[in-house]
Structure 1
Amino acid sequence: MRVLAAMSGGVDSAVAAARAKDAGHDVVGVHLALSRMPGTLRTGARGCCTIEDSMDAQRAANLIGIPYYVWDFSERFKADVVDDFVAEYSAGRTPNPCLRCNERIKFAALLEKALALGFDAVATGHYATVLTDADGNRELHRAAAWAKDQSYVLGVLTAEQLAHSMFPLGTTPSKAEVRAEAAARGFSVASKPDSHDICFIPDGDTRGWLAERVGAEQGEIVERDGTVVGTHQGAHAFTVGQRRGLSIGHPAPDGRPRFVLEVRPKDNTVVVGPKEALDIAQLAGSRFSWAGRAPEHPESEWACEVQIRAHADPVPATAVVRDGELVITPDAPLGGVAPGQSAVVYLGTRVLGQCTIDRTVSAVPAPA
């Protein structure tokens, strides 16, 4: 097969490209330039998006012995990831830009261009596996090493995208084995730290970065009954579950700490309350998709597991498609679920699908 290897400049994508070549595929490496102003992306040994990462990727490609190119995806990245991030925060939601990048850049824009150029598949360094069922349907599954499993951020992939996706690291028992293999191959990135945080916020100050783009306007911090307990300098700076930085200035009547329960951008209000009020009995989203074959009867409840963060544990739940939404009810309440997050639904190790959370139902009713 002709395989386009997406090379971020990190150790995982370098080893993935090398394994694709070892498997006998005709491999070409490509690095995605996601900004025309390198200073707007985080620097350091992160394996994600900067000029130094591009150079690391090229050195690895040279050692593997494959052609290497840099493709400018900066305009698409700004529109589909950066602008989406700002819009979601402006709407009071908490987005996941890495998941959105996988959905709209690596497995939409990149795959689309790869297929147009005659490639059969795109290979990445994600820790996940693609299996084929008895009827020939492609399925997305967790990686062998659950500690490094990245199937959550790939939950947005469709059946068509899975048909052209390759994850050479999916069956690897540990990240240590990948690093050892990289060292044995002579890759300079063998000990390079993993990527982290948000690549397009240079200094890691998300609050300050958003304030420059959304604007900061003073608003009220209120309890669930509407009692004003403080003020803030911009609702966009808060996210559900946050405890630090509320600056209420005095203890609640019950003496217990307060957490952000809701962000209301329309009236620039932040709602706070006790920790138990963060417990969510149900969540739902109209923006849902299936990672491969859809359930036979999605309008009838089925048992599953749901994961709401990349590094969270999956929890037992039931799910159903009702009134145009994927509605998920965990067996026990979930804590700190924010609109804008992604809920990924699993059947065992298989990723069934996902939704962007639009609304939640609290397990603890607000006081009358």
Structure 2
Amino acid sequence: MTPEFQLARPLDARRIVVAMSGGVDSSVVAALAARSGAETIGITLQLYDHGAAIKRAGSCCAGQDIRDARAVADTLGIAHYVFDHESAFRESVIDDFADEYMAGRTPIPCVRCNMGVKFTDLFRLARDLGADCLATGHYVRRVEGAAGPELHRALDPARDQSYFLFATTTEQLGYLRFPLGGMPKPEVRRIAAELGLGVAAKPDSQDICFVPDGDYASIVRKVRPDAETAGEIVDLEGRVLGAHRGFIHFTVGQRRGLEIGGLAEPLYVVRLEPDTRRVVVGPRRALAVTAARISGFNWIGGPHEGPVTAKVRSLAKPVPARIDGDRVIFDQPEYGVSPGQAAVLYGGERVLGGGWIDETEAAIPESLVA
């Protein structure tokens, strides 16, 4: 039996609820739970059901994925329930995604999903079913520390999903189990194949499951038809360099897609101004920031004192930093830090917590960059 499922009650009295998205990861978690000897119940939340997103390989929680989850549950001989959460998902995740882009910010819907419909509602459902724990297929580790459970990065850095779980509360962590955090992906697929699960070779889900083909703008347009309002592309001094067809197509740090010719050096998106509909661009040095102001901060296991590293994008490496009130101050200038993203703090492999980036502090005043 995997240590992840060593629970307080005797073997024949344990009950584990598994969040099943229809992918190979959550399917293997369900298999490990069933193999532990505990009563295992799979739950799938139907989150959306629109157009190409259902048919696209790499989606989750809709259409074929629900059928895959049910087939896996049948193979394992466990109960499986589907709950319709499409309305809640649209309001708390998709609408927020569109509104953030409209406000000139860069959203992270995966975090909003974990904070809302996935963890909050799944917790309620799991407790209503009398489960001892809720298990998911996230690649993170739950480690018992001196002061209680801690959230740690996955052993495989390429699979680590801790950035998306910074908002996990200490209470939630006590109830959660993450059996895959110490496994490489090939091992997970091997287990699925050995058990004859039909999803063993299924492609991994995309970072944003409800965005077909990575076209974020198309989703924003559907939700907010006025999103594609044209505007100016200007330099740091306000000189007009070109035009754009809607700043939902841009994020801070972006270089491609500006379509401005005849320049002496490459230009990057420095900020977005929703009030004026302007995209402000400048040289790479204008992207350097020394600090970021954070809101909605969540400490996992209480505030931390001492050195930390901070990760400001899902694919970025954690960099040395320190905390000063509601500010994360970087030891060295950091580039491409965008409002709307998260700053997640680590103490070694441990996830200390994180919050939302509201503002950044430039390393060089714009008057000196221009």
- CA-to-aligned-CA distance 1:194-237 (integer Å, 9 cap, x gap): 11142223343222332342522221111111111111122222
Question: Which structure 1 segments of 5+ residues have no match?
Answer: none
Are 2:140 and 2:178, in contact at CA under 8 Å, matched by a contact in 1? yes
Matched, 1:89 2:101: yes
Query: For the residues of structure 1 that align with 2:246 and 2:349, how far apart are their CA atoms?
Result: 41
What is the aligned partner in structure 1 of residue 5 from structure 2?
none
1:260-339 equivalences in 2 (<5 Å) = 260-295=269-304, 302-320=306-324, 322=325, 325=326, 327-339=327-339
The residue type paired with residue 293 of structure 1 is G
Query: For the residues of structure 1 that align with 2:187 and 2:152, how far apart are their CA atoms?
Result: 20
Query: For the residues of structure 1 that align with 2:54 and 2:97, how far apart are their CA atoms?
Result: 16
Looking at secondary structure, tell me which structure has more helix per residue. 2
Overall identity of the aligned pairs, in %: 45
The residue type paired with residue 4 of structure 1 is V
- Residue aligned with 2:340, SS: coil
- CA-to-aligned-CA distance 1:35-79 (integer Å, 9 cap, x gap): 2x3426342332512211111111111121110111111111111
Are 2:111 and 2:165, in contact at CA under 8 Å, matched by a contact in 1? yes
**Which of 140, 160, 163 lines up with 2:171 in the alignment?**
160
Matched, 1:187 2:197: yes
TM-score by length of 1: 0.91
Question: Which structure 2 segments of 5+ residues have no match?
Answer: 1-13
What is the aligned partner in structure 1 of residue 340 from structure 2?
340
The residue type paired with residue 124 of structure 1 is T
1:116-265 equivalences in 2 (<5 Å) = 116-135=128-147, 137-172=148-183, 174-212=184-222, 213-215=224-226, 216-248=228-260, 250-252=261-263, 255-265=264-274
Are 1:9 and 1:47, in contact at CA under 8 Å, matched by a contact in 2? no
The residue type paired with residue 315 of structure 1 is V
1:45-84 equivalences in 2 (<5 Å) = 45-46=57-58, 48-84=60-96
The residue type paired with residue 88 of structure 1 is E
- Residue aligned with 2:212, SS: coil
The residue type paired with residue 36 of structure 2 is A
TM-score by length of 2: 0.91
Which stretch of structure 1 is more off in the superposition, 228-237 or 85-94?
Answer: 228-237
Are 2:44 and 2:69, in contact at CA under 8 Å, matched by a contact in 1? yes
- Residue aligned with 2:124, SS: helix
Are 1:224 and 1:271, in contact at CA under 8 Å, matched by a contact in 2? yes
Are 1:8 and 1:47, in contact at CA under 8 Å, matched by a contact in 2? no
Query: For the residues of structure 2 that align with 1:289 and 1:20, how far apart are their CA atoms?
Result: 29
Query: For the residues of structure 1 that align with 2:220 and 2:26, how far apart are their CA atoms?
Result: 30
Query: For the residues of structure 2 that align with 1:27 and 1:292, how far apart are their CA atoms?
Result: 29
Query: For the residues of structure 2 that align with 1:227 and 1:133, how far apart are their CA atoms?
Result: 55
Query: For the residues of structure 1 that align with 2:78 and 2:301, how far apart are their CA atoms?
Result: 31
The residue type paired with residue 79 of structure 1 is E
Query: For the residues of structure 2 that align with 1:335 and 1:10, how far apart are their CA atoms?
Result: 34
Are 1:197 and 1:204, in contact at CA under 8 Å, matched by a contact in 2? no
The residue type paired with residue 166 of structure 1 is R
